[in-house]
Amino acid sequence: MSGKAIGGAVIGYGGMGNFHSEKMQSVKGVKLIGVYDIDPERNKLAESRGIHAYSSREELLADPRIGLVTVATPNDVHKEIVIDALAAGKAAICEKPVAMDCAELDEMIGAAVRYGKLFTVHQNRRWDEDFLTIRKIIEDGELGNVYRIESRVHGSRGIPSGWREEKEHGGGMVLDWGVHLLDQMLTMMGSRQMISVYASTTHITNDECDDGFTALVTYEGGLEWLVEVGTCNYIEMPRWYAFGDNGSAVIRNWACEGEIVKIHNRGEDDVAPIQAGAGLTRTMAPRNERTVEKFPVVKVESDWAEFYKNVIDVLNGKAESKVTHPQLRRSMKLIEAVFASARKNEVVKF
């Protein structure tokens, strides 16, 4: 395949299908051949943009020019479409969440092995600059030994309308934003042993699907990760907060505004108590510049096209896939544990 652009197609031409078809038109090494959506109006829209729309999924999968299919449909039909694409001899990229549960994912992995085709998932938020920035701060040891990382996204409009509000289609925020934030955590923690998770979900705007959740994951060595997604938050909390024995860091937003505060003199001789509410405290008295130093956060730049570049390199035999089956299984297992913990109001141990 080396040298020649791989023919690409997208199934499901909604919001993300449009994103993927644009990527296939702009990234070197892949050439968009066409799309298919079950909704004729979406196919008409594609045609109006100069993109060929197939009349059926079967017609698209029978086209020998296509080597790579991206599936960007609602979550409940990922499995059947991915398996059909693999059976038709195409490599498959699936949107996240890859599946509704581990059992579905295992069938998809089984098909990829059986048909000997690449099957990977668009975990694009591994390339988010805010994530790469907090990762660098922590991995460079800026905060010393880290005890807590908090990863949050907050919106205020509830769940977007449509299939995301319905359980049978894989709606809810655990399967929407949760899968991204948990995947970031798992990617960054690598082989560090996860001990347990305790989770709760919110149903403020929707009885059927969670419109937010909190998961507290404990790792060996006393590190806690808090992952929180909210859709009824009119005051946003920082995207990232972390602290270690050498300092604290905050990244407030996707633009990576924030700071790192490092301690250079832990012991202070003359801390005066301050008035705090109805009492006095020395413990909670703020630090001054003599013992701490503030640094701006330096954003790590990244390129969103990296995911597609990796897929193309894999198809040309030049690289290993960055989003692997064991990673997907681990993430799906954790999602099942989050749901189980929330349902039973219990800590789930690994």
Q: Which residues would be at the binding site for ligand NAD (CB under 6 A)?
A: 11-17, 36-39, 42, 57, 72-75, 77, 95-96, 122, 124, 162-163, 176
Q: Is 245 exposed, middle or buried (0-12, 13-18, 19+ CB in 10 A)?
A: exposed
Closest CB to ligand NAD: residue number: 14
Of the candidates 250, 239, 95, the residue with the CA atom closest to the CA atom of residue 179: 95
> What residues form DSSP beta bridges with 148?
224, 243
CB nearer ligand NAD, residue 9 or residue 215: 9
CB nearer ligand NAD, residue 72 or residue 91: 72
CB nearer ligand NAD, residue 38 or residue 232: 38
Q: How far is the CB of 40 from ligand NAD (least distance, A)?
A: 9
Q: Are 275 and 108 in contact (CB under 8 A)?
A: no
Other C-beta atoms lying within 10 Å of the C-beta of residue 150: 19
Q: How far is the CB of 76 from ligand NAD (least distance, A)?
A: 9
CA-to-CA distance for 256 and 140, rounded, in angstroms? 17
Other C-beta atoms lying within 10 Å of the C-beta of residue 189: 16
Query: Which position has the token pair 């798992």?
Result: 186
Cα diameter, the chain: 78
Q: How far is the CB of 12 from ligand NAD (least distance, A)?
A: 3
Q: How far is the CB of 231 from ligand NAD (least distance, A)?
A: 14
CB nearer ligand NAD, residue 23 or residue 122: 122
CB nearer ligand NAD, residue 123 or residue 341: 123
Q: How far is the CB of 66 from ligand NAD (least distance, A)?
A: 15
Dihedral over Cα of 92, 19, 77, 180: its sign: positive
Q: How far is the CB of 329 from ligand NAD (least distance, A)?
A: 18
CB nearer ligand NAD, residue 146 or residue 175: 175
